[in-house]
Amino acid sequence: DGGITQSPKYLFRKEGQNVTLSCEQNLNHDAMYWYRQDPGQGLRLIYYSQIVNDFQKGDIAEGYSVSREKKESFPLTVTSAQKNPTAFYLCASSPWRGTNTEAFFGQGTRLTVV
Amino acid sequence: AQTVTQSQPEMSVQEAETVTLSCTYDTSENNYYLFWYKQPPSRQMILVIRQEAYKQQNATENRFSVNFQKAAKSFSLKISDSQLGDTAMYFCAFMNTGTASKLTFGTGTRLQVTL
């Protein structure tokens, strides 16, 4: 089945540690996105990528890093510089052009700092 | 920069009634896409309806329809014959079609459908 997979579903991080969230898609989509969702709030864009080896900062990129070495994969690293990383993280992919453009989402990763 | 505004943090509707969720956006682009996504308690994002800006006809999907007013930059969602399963967060989203396209969301409207 085609889709977008995020792992892990739950992740716990100690203060000062870097952690990496995985996002893989087999939809052959060019564009991929990372969003952060805080309780009762909307989705804020962290990073996005339209092509392999290229990505752009979103609205809240500080304290995060990404890579796009393969079309299928867009991992997000939450670094120790992110002071308030506890949140729900959503990854999405999209063909970003064409008549059937829409974003498909993963199931999300809930990150908690302990 | 594109912005999306949803001015109704919460709404309530009785089962079988009709409700309209508001969304406005700001852009200098002429070609773009607009979306409504639903996020139920499972937190899975589900596409409800999509509108291409170059199409004047309003999109419809069964009980869901939009009122797209391009000049006013307005994109409201109407849910007819509301069902208990419609209870969810609803997000309006904008995607431009240029070389630096990105998908921007509003802050959401929490819809509660009651008996």
pLDDT cut 70: percent of chain A above it? 94
Cis peptide before A39 (omega within 30 of 0): no
Residue pair A5/A105 in contact (Cβ under 8 Å)? The answer is no
* Mean model confidence pLDDT for chain A: 90
**pLDDT for the residue A99:** 55
- Is A42 within 8 Å of B105 when comparing Cβ atoms? yes
- In B5-64, the residues whose Cβ lies within 8 Å of chain A are 6, 33, 35, 43-45, 47, 50, 52
- Closest-CA residue of B relative to A105 is B45
Count Cβ atoms below 10 Å from residue B29 Cβ, excluding itself. Answer: 13
First to last CA, chain B: 41
Could you tell me the maximum CA-CA distance found in chain B, to the nearest angstrom? 47
HSE value, Cβ hemisphere, 13 Å, CA-based, for B107: 9
Q: Is B56 helix (H, G, I), strand (E, B) or coil?
A: coil
Distances (CA, A) of A52 to A47, B6, B56, B77: 14, 33, 35, 35
- Is the pLDDT reported for residue B63 higher than 60? yes
Q: In this structure, are residues A81 and A22 in contact, taking their beta carbons and an 8 Å threshold?
A: no
A40 against B105, higher pLDDT: B105
